[in-house]
Amino acid sequence: MVENDETKFEPADVLRMFPTFVWKAELKPEVHQRINGTIVRTLDQIRRSLPELAPGQAWQSDQALHKLEGFRELVSCVNDTVTSVLEFLKIVCDAFEITGFWANISATGAGHGMHSHPNNFLSGVYYVQAHEGADTINFHDPRPQPNIIRPPVTELTAENTDQVVVKVKNGTLLVFPAWLPHSVDANSTDKPRISIGFNVMFTSYTEKMSKPLW
Ligand SMILES: [Fe+2]
């Protein structure tokens, strides 16, 4: 409801439209503890010949971790979640596929600037090690128009903000539109932050999904 002159108006409604969603799932503790243990061991193995990260440094693996046995259970959780998201959006889709699946390790002081993931439909992050001080991700208003005029506000709300900070923890799985800009603040702790990023696209995009809608 919005305040209005009661002598002239019926109470007004606010119509919300074109929502931007971020899907937030939490794996059960016994599941994420098992998955995260396997992932940490697998990443240690992958990184065994690499030097430890210095403060401010971040490391990213190659983009095909979904093909490794050590990530099988997480891949299955991602596929289940993406299926739910596509159902939620009422999308008609025969098959989708993971087009990239990579690990991010950020040492103290390392963050990640604003970016999006072109040429995918959905993107996501899973948190393996996200402790206090390294447990947020920022999503930015994807609409360019509101940035033209940003008057001062008495309070930041969902209606007037240009950034939403989402708190995460070990076992959080986020899925969001690949076009949604996001960034990560610098890790302010002395432990590395470990997350797994991924992208998803329709398998038969050009054959089936991109046909003109008229
Ligand atoms: Fe990203």
Please name every residue paired with 2 in a beta bridge, in sequence order, or none if there are none: 12
* Residue 152 CA to ligand 1 centre (angstroms): 30
pLDDT confidence of 1, banded at 50, 70, 90? low
Evaluate if residue 171 carries a pLDDT over 70.
Answer: yes
Q: Name which CATH class applies to 28-140+159-204.
A: mainly beta
Domain boundaries, the chain: 28-140+159-204
Token pair for residue 106?
């950020």
Top-confidence residue, 208 or 122: 122
* Residue 214 CA to ligand 1 centre (angstroms): 33
pLDDT confidence of 6, banded at 50, 70, 90? confident
* Residue 165 CA to ligand 1 centre (angstroms): 14
| Residue-level pLDDT at 168 | 98
pLDDT confidence of 57, banded at 50, 70, 90? very high
* Residue 132 CA to ligand 1 centre (angstroms): 20
For residues 23 and 30, give the distance between their C-alpha atoms in angstroms, rounded to a whole number. 21
For residues 39 and 42, give the distance between their C-alpha atoms in angstroms, rounded to a whole number. 5
* Residue 181 CA to ligand 1 centre (angstroms): 8
* Residue 115 CA to ligand 1 centre (angstroms): 6
Percent of the chain with pLDDT over 70: 99
CA–centroid distance for 91 within its chain = 20
Region label for 46, one of left (φ > 0), alpha (ψ between -120 and 50) or beta (otherwise): alpha
Token pair for residue 188?
């302010």
Evaluate if residue 3 carries a pLDDT over 80.
Answer: no
| Residue-level pLDDT at 7 | 86
Q: What is the pTM of this model?
A: 0.93
For residue 141, CA distances in Å to 10, 80, 123, 166 come to 32, 27, 16, 13
**Strand-by-strand arrangement of the 58-60 sheet:** 23-26, 172-177, 122-129, 193-202, 96-106, 58-60
* Residue 154 CA to ligand 1 centre (angstroms): 31
Average pLDDT over residues 208-214: 89
Average pLDDT, the chain: 95
Evaluate if residue 212 carries a pLDDT over 60.
Answer: yes
For residues 140 and 182, give the distance between their C-alpha atoms in angstroms, rounded to a whole number. 6
* Residue 113 CA to ligand 1 centre (angstroms): 9
* Residue 114 CA to ligand 1 centre (angstroms): 8
Longest dimension (CA), the chain: 75
CB of 19 closer than 8 Å to CB of 157: no
The predicted-structure confidence for 76-131, as pLDDT tens digits, reads as follows 999 999 999 999 999 999 999 999 999 999 999 999 999 999 999 999 999 999 99
Tally the residues of the chain.
214
| Residue-level pLDDT at 5 | 76
